[in-house]
Each structure stands twice: as C-alpha cells, then as structure tokens.
Amino acid sequence: MMPLTHRLIAAAALVLVAAHRTSAQLPGCSPMPPGSGRAGPAFTFNKVQADVIHAVGTGTMAVGANATIIINERDLMLVDAGLSPAAMCVLFEELKPITTKPLRSVVVTHFHFDHAHGSQVFGPDVEIIGSSFTRAQLAMGNSVRGRGYEAFIKSLPGQVAAAKAARDTITDAKRKDAANARINLLEQEILADAAVIPTPPTLTLDDHLTLYRGGREIQLRFIGRAHTGGDVVVVLPKERIVVTGDMMTFGVPFMGDGFIDEWPATLERLKALSFDMVLPGHGPAFKERERIDWLQVYFRDLGPKIKALHDAKVTSADAAKQIDMRSHVAHFPNLTAVGVDPNAVARAYELLDAKP
Ligand SMILES: [Zn+2]
C-alpha cells in the first residue's frame, strides 16, 4: 500500500488534473496573452436560447467580431475566434460562470483578422473548421495584409497619436478620462495584435459539413461568394438559428474583399435556409428577415452606381466620395452623408478591371 504522503500527493495531482480539465480549457491562455487589460467585462452574453449564446463586445476591450457559443451535451462549439489571443482568453474567462464544458470545435466563418486571429490559443484537441478558401487565405498570410487589415489594424499607431493629440487639448476632466480610456484600449489592441500567429483551420469544407453533438445537429454551409470568397454559415435546424459571420450583419458589412455583384444571390440562398433568428458577426441578433432584403436592395443599387463611374473613368477614390446612398437611410441609419467606404469601391473596381 502507498504511504499516506504519497497517497495525498496522488490525490492532489488528481484534483489538479480535474481543475485543469474544467477551467483552464485553452492551453494558450496561461499566462494570459498580451493586451488582455480591460476596464470591466469585455463581453455581454446574450442567451438567444438556453444553450446558444451570442457574445457581443461591451467596448471595454477590442475583441473583434461577435462570437457564438453553442453549448452541447458534453462540449462546446464556438463560431468565430475574435481579434486576438487576448480576446479569446478573456471570452473563455468571462464564460466560466455560465459553462466550463470543454471546447472541442471552432468554426471560423471567414479569414478576416477580427474573426480568425484568436485561433492559436485553442491547442491540438480543438478542431478549427472553415472553408478551404479560408484556410488558403490564412495560410498565405492574407489576414495580416489587405484593405481590412490596413484600415483597422495598421492604422492603430496613427489612431493612438491622433487620440493623444486630441486629448492634450481637452480641459474637462471627465472628457479627458474618456479620451485616456480610449487610448488605453487602442494600446492594448496593438499589444494583442502583435502576439497573433495566424492559425489556419485544421478541417475544411467546400460545400457543406454536418456535425452531430448529443441530440443537436449543426450544419456548416458554403452557399456562395459574398463578404469573401469563402464565407461559411452555421445553421442549427432544430433551434432555427443561423450564424452568418459578415455575410449578413446588422448594418452594412465591410465590402473590401467582397463580391457586390454576387452577394444578393447568395443572400437569396441564405433566405431559403430554415431559421427564425440571425446571429450576425457584427451588431445584435435579430429576427426580422426583411433586413436581408434591405441589404440586397442596397447592393443592387450600389453595384451599378460604382460600375457607371468606373466606365466613366472616374478614379475609385473620387467615386467613393460621390456615390450617394442616402436613399437607404431608413434601413441603415448611419447613411446620412454622401460618400461610401473607399475600400468597397476599390474592391469593386478591382473586380471590374479583372473582367475580360
Ligand atoms: Zn469580415
């Protein structure tokens, strides 16, 4: 028989193993990665059903896209992996009061940094699933360059410098505190981004893939090009939920890598799926299917407007300043001024120029 001290050590080791299995689920989160600093909780967990959670950033930290946590009988599935290792580790830290089930699979809806750059923390026991397009983009390094990355991440040092200059002109103490909080957030985001090692999916699909977890069916589908060349949507047919990434967001999505001409037809195929609730990559969950119609109408208006200016040899930058989409303001309240995102127009020009 084992001496008492040895038995105590063995028992303590068992407890440690158990604690490791239930709480420290992500091997890349110990120690916490750089850029985890935040002023208060980083996520609001919106329980759209008892075991389906739409996690939305609160604004205390740059976390990137929304994440969806699907709580299965024995494990968790995550849809979208956030902006950074820090964002993912904070997500799972804050999720502990709700569930400590082990994470087994992650779906990356597309290759953009704000959906894919937390993947390195999951470790070898977690399958990372995405389209083969998404895998190729991440493997080629296209999540750390291009229009989106330039606009939102490479611009961060300049944003910090501008925010500091603006802060130094503020005299009101409250406004100065708010400006400092904003500067801290941006500086944490720079630290978090510097720690990113883009990590491609370990399992890919070209058309569809269905997972069965306990009594739940989880469908992954590629239904056509839209926000990127390889967006995957996740359908929970029994729960009548669809997770759309940035193919369908609450407002107008980023179009810098998109296919404006093909996007409305892809959204038509989205509408044909069975769901009552949309969990978008940005903005709140919603039930109104007409939001999808509104976005189709927007693209069908924008595409020809861009093409007319392209054919008239107007530069892409000038076209972006001229295009007037204010007629859509009832559906997209921020469209109050003339002009559209130059990234959208540059992308559309690129596709038009590539046409034979
Ligand atoms: Zn995106």
Please say if the pLDDT value at position 339 is more than 70: yes
Instruction: State yes or no: cis peptide before 31, omega within 30 of 0.
Output: yes
Average confidence score pLDDT of the chain? 94
231 alpha carbon – ligand 1 mean position (Å): 9
Query: Taking the model in full, what pTM does it have?
Result: 0.92
Please say if the pLDDT value at position 108 is more than 70: yes
115 alpha carbon – ligand 1 mean position (Å): 7
Indicate the Cα dihedral angle 312, 313, 316, 317, nearest 10°.
-100
177 alpha carbon – ligand 1 mean position (Å): 31
pLDDT digits (tens, 9 = 90+) for 27-75: 999 999 999 999 999 999 999 998 999 999 999 999 999 999 999 999 9
Instruction: List helix spans (H) across the chain.
Output: 4-22, 85-95, 113-116, 132-139, 147-149, 156-167, 173-194, 263-271, 290-311, 316-322, 342-354
Structure tokens given for 313: 């040899």
343 alpha carbon – ligand 1 mean position (Å): 13
114 alpha carbon – ligand 1 mean position (Å): 7
309 alpha carbon – ligand 1 mean position (Å): 26
pLDDT band at 8 (very low <50, low <70, confident <90, very high): low
pLDDT digits (tens, 9 = 90+) for 290-309: 999 999 999 999 999 999 99
Query: Do the beta carbons of residue 83 and residue 192 sit within 8 Å?
Result: yes
Residue 46 burial class via C-beta count within 10 angstroms: exposed 0-12, middle 13-18, buried 19 and up: middle
284 alpha carbon – ligand 1 mean position (Å): 16
pLDDT digits (tens, 9 = 90+) for 165-213: 999 999 999 999 999 999 999 999 999 999 999 999 999 999 999 999 9
Query: Do the beta carbons of residue 221 and residue 85 sit within 8 Å?
Result: no
The percent of residues in the chain predicted with pLDDT above 70, rounded, is: 93
110 alpha carbon – ligand 1 mean position (Å): 7
51 alpha carbon – ligand 1 mean position (Å): 25
Sketch the domain layout of the chain as residue ranges: 147-194, 299-356
Residue 205 neighbours by CB under 8 Å, 6+ apart: 129, 130, 131, 132, 220, 222, 232
Please say if the pLDDT value at position 232 is more than 60: yes
CB-based burial, 65-102: b 16+ in 10 Å, e otherwise: bbbbbbbbeebbbbbbbbbbbbbbbbbbbbbeeebebe
Structure tokens given for 121: 């923390």
Residue 138 burial class via C-beta count within 10 angstroms: exposed 0-12, middle 13-18, buried 19 and up: buried
- Mean of pLDDT values over 6-17: 52
Using left for φ > 0, alpha for ψ between -120 and 50, and beta otherwise, residue 313 falls in left
**What is the rounded distance in angstroms from the CA atom of residue 64 to the CA atom of residue 34?**
16
What is the reported pLDDT for 16? 47
pLDDT band at 18 (very low <50, low <70, confident <90, very high): very low
**What is the rounded distance in angstroms from the CA atom of residue 242 to the CA atom of residue 68?**
10
pLDDT digits (tens, 9 = 90+) for 317-330: 999 999 999 999 99
- Mean of pLDDT values over 104-124: 97
What is the reported pLDDT for 22? 39
Residue 57 burial class via C-beta count within 10 angstroms: exposed 0-12, middle 13-18, buried 19 and up: buried
What is the reported pLDDT for 355? 83
